[in-house]
Amino acid sequence: MHITSKGQVTIPIEIRQRLGLLPHTEVRFVVDGETVRIVRAESRDMNRGRRIVDHLRGRGSVKMTTDEIMALTRGEP
């Protein structure tokens, strides 16, 4: 892994998934001697639930009306 000319590093997907680091998650850097830790910095205006909803928004690919979806959930033909 390397640092780009813009100072960017990619966090591996396994780590992001394990720690729930979604796009736009606020983080901060903690320097301890020769070690740097990245820690989640809770945003004042966005909680975890809001971040998850924002992350999933617009991902549906099936074109169904609300009535059609409700019929499926009720087991109606």
**What are the structural domain ranges in the chain?**
13-73
Closest CA relative to residue 43, chosen from 57, 58, 12, 22: 22
pLDDT of residue 73: 92
| Tokens coding 49 | 């639930």
Considering the entire predicted model, what is its pTM?
A: 0.48
User: Is 24 in contact with 54 (CB distance < 8 Å)?
Assistant: yes
Measure the CA–CA gap between 53 and 19, rounded to whole angstroms.
17
- pLDDT averaged per 10 residues, the chain (length 77): 92 90 87 92 70 79 87 86
pLDDT of residue 64: 87
Measure the CA–CA gap between 18 and 12, rounded to whole angstroms.
10
